[in-house]
Structure 1
């Protein structure tokens, strides 16, 4: 595939004779005809790799004004915001996209909302997909993911490929990193959803205000006037996003438990096989019954319903699809039961609010005893460690503190910072052994939450990612067959 440089620049100015075969910010992936994006990063400066990129055949360089280019025959595309220009060029390179695209942001719930929306659209007869933490999911194929919001070139390549096979509706997860780094710029959105905002990524954003501002870009800059903002207003942050949306002239649909929500969640009740709740909308009350655990999942479902309505679907037809919703991998996922009758769930909860939600939701199902296995990541926000320790101690009967991606930090130090707030917890650094001990202690009608990793399949120690899956470990310990067919 080739595109002229003038097409990528979106103007008559520029060369039609310079053909671009690809765009990349990784000099190791430069091929003859590539446009190399040289961006200063947090660990390395892409400008240092311009000579190597030219030697590999780069036809043009995108970088900051004044960036030296050793070969005068290779043009410099100078831009004060090369990240944003990169996203715009990626969108022009892969010009075909699904007709209806929406993005979901917030601390917790993005993955579930995106997947539920994909399922709702599919139930309505649309060819639908989702892109995010779980990768690319559609009826055509599932591909594992990396970043919640992919690099612009990878994102637009995925969207173009989905469009080419007939996908018309796509739900995208919008992470704060992705929004701050302009990865979603250039994506034409019909609607956007906001779940909630609680402490996370303080290692990157430094302040809660900075974190909120990153999320708010979706509604303040990326959604075009006339598009729809679907906002959960149960939090102060949600109300701020609502005000921002109204101020920009966006169609705004509020959701949540708040009595002023246009799409209101009511009368929630946990059941042994799932939960029931009602949705109030335009003077009508609609009963809903789903085989999904967790009160927070009802909130995610209501937001997905709002996004479906906000992109033109009929409310009655949308609600008729909900009874067929299936769980999202690694989100309050029931893996199995012990021979004594204890239930074991795996959940992605890795923030204080996420852990609080999953443990409170578990309590709503009245277990005889509630256990949790969790840890905190290294090289990330250390301030949440004692917060999560205290929440676990307050909400669970038995707490097992273990390792969860220690990265470059000493794992025992991370555990000690958690244990300072839950001194009665059981400390077992080896994650598989911690899960095994927790399962062994389960009695009839007990419930265990293995929190933190969810769908993930690796444990990062230093710079090495070791194969590890909470789901597969639990299956092995319960005697179930894994995906490879082994015991």
Structure 2
């Protein structure tokens, strides 16, 4: 419980005459209880302002709403009008839930957020620290905290701070979280006290929401311009698109943050060489102190190296601390649904599952697998419905460029016609094979695999369902693969 005026004072909004006590905060009118603050925000499917009367009837003490929104005459409830209610809500929530892990790291970028966050958590845990991640895979920690809420890459600010409170109650003081462009654009992370922020890469995605590439970049740059404090650690993949890199570096320098570049062009951690091995990859890394380390990681995929280097840069206390972290890298494990080995056939052919669902991610995935392929490289993928349609043929172009055999199938068609989606995908690879049913595509391709072949089933990764219309049908790529391999 906290007084409303205490909340308003902290975020520099005008105080109210009566010192009302706030017992809770919610975005959901169904959860309102006596003394709650209800955030009446406009959303994609409904408008919170339509539930103001319901909130008052249920005993809300205050309602946060946009400046131009109407409010009924009443003495029962206080209206807090503001120009940016999402931002104000995030700050209020951070004050209402004051217990945050002491060390927080946030990662943004088109691809690699989940893996980078998970590698950070693993490295902390290898140092015998209580650590957690929040992101696409839910909440993962080495405690008995069991999060059962909805899984979003970046939860809304109220849900996020409830999770933070629970983690602290379980003695977690080290947290890595994913910062999606949606979450950043909607101010969900504002109010967090992060000490390091990472930028993995930037390629086309989510233009159905952001409309153009510049707005997409600006949403991600909010992590550095508005959330990471002056002097904070800013880790960036130096090998990303040069034009984007210039803008990212400028934003970091403007905030006087501690820039740490990693990759082949890196200065904090420079990748000198990568040698593919049957069991993983051997790396040669040069540090900012000109020390050179050789280390073997038990993971396939060149992009995994980028994610690991960024993870090290984000949590190293200083240049000297790198020497303590690199010996831990051989103990890292793959992330669920990211270059995950699903099966090895009796003839030695290997099958992997990966979450790649953008043109760039698909290209990097296939390029990463090629050095490990002694024969043909197969890829099965599709494109989601009700999402950025412009990337569909681009994904097929990348698939046909790097794979020997391309199979187009369904992947969460949602409310769109699956045939139409596949047609748009196939425009980028006319010679590709088209098998509508995802399980059938997997089953038929497994039967073709010969010794030395690799098949990767891309797009869904860790997901446990296939969304057709508005119904989620149980579907797990790994389970389906193992089912058909076992019947060979």
TM-score (normalizing by structure 1): 0.95
- Whether the 8 Å contact between 1:7 and 1:92 is mirrored in structure 2 is no
Structure 1 unaligned spans of 5+: 481-487
Question: Which moved further from structure 2: 71-80 or 163-172?
Answer: 71-80
Rounded Cα–Cα distance in structure 1 between residues aligned with 2:93 and 2:80: 14
- Whether the 8 Å contact between 1:308 and 1:318 is mirrored in structure 2 is no
Shift of 1:52: 1.9
**What is aligned with 1:268?**
274
Q: Which digits, 9 at most, give the CA deviation of each residue in 1:196-243, with x for residues without a partner?
A: 000000101111101100011111111111111111121222332122
Shift of 1:66: 4.0
**What is aligned with 2:118?**
115
Counterpart of 2:401 (choices 394, 398, 412) is 394
- Cα 1:402–1:142 change in 2 (3 A) is farther
Shift of 1:426: 1.7
- Whether the 8 Å contact between 1:230 and 1:310 is mirrored in structure 2 is no
The answer to whether residue 201 in structure 2 is matched with residue 196 in structure 1 is yes
Q: Which digits, 9 at most, give the CA deviation of each residue in 1:124-158, with x for residues without a partner?
A: 22211111111111101454652100010111111
Alpha-carbon RMSD: 1.7
Question: Which moved further from structure 2: 16-25 or 43-52?
Answer: 16-25
Q: Which digits, 9 at most, give the CA deviation of each residue in 1:336-372, with x for residues without a partner?
A: 1122221110000000000000000010213311111
Rounded Cα–Cα distance in structure 1 between residues aligned with 2:161 and 2:33: 19
Shift of 1:397: 1.2
Counterpart of 2:211 (choices 206, 209, 223) is 206
Q: Which digits, 9 at most, give the CA deviation of each residue in 1:91-150, with x for residues without a partner?
A: 111110110001000000000000000111111222111111111111014546521000
SS in 2 for 1:383: helix
5 Å-filtered alignment, 1:271-282, equals: 271-281=277-287, 282=289
Counterpart of 1:223 (choices 197, 221, 228) is 228
- Whether the 8 Å contact between 1:190 and 1:227 is mirrored in structure 2 is yes
Counterpart of 2:47 (choices 41, 45, 48) is 45
Q: Which digits, 9 at most, give the CA deviation of each residue in 1:442-472, with x for residues without a partner?
A: 1112111000011111111111222111122
SS in 1 for 2:372: coil
- Whether the 8 Å contact between 1:233 and 1:242 is mirrored in structure 2 is no
Structure 2 unaligned spans of 5+: none
- Cα 1:170–1:311 change in 2 (3 A) is farther
Rounded Cα–Cα distance in structure 2 between residues aligned with 1:178 and 1:444: 44
Counterpart of 1:251 (choices 255, 258, 268) is 258
Rounded Cα–Cα distance in structure 2 between residues aligned with 1:36 and 1:143: 24
Corresponding residue pairs, total: 478
TM-score (normalizing by structure 2): 0.94
The answer to whether residue 342 in structure 2 is matched with residue 364 in structure 1 is no
**What is aligned with 2:4?**
5
5 Å-filtered alignment, 1:34-183, equals: 34-70=36-72, 71-140=74-143, 141=145, 143=147, 146-183=151-188
SS in 1 for 2:316: helix
**What is aligned with 1:32?**
34
SS in 1 for 2:412: coil
- Cα 1:362–1:142 change in 2 (3 A) is farther
Counterpart of 1:318 (choices 320, 325, 340) is 325
- Whether the 8 Å contact between 1:4 and 1:16 is mirrored in structure 2 is no
SS in 2 for 1:339: coil
- Whether the 8 Å contact between 1:190 and 1:311 is mirrored in structure 2 is no
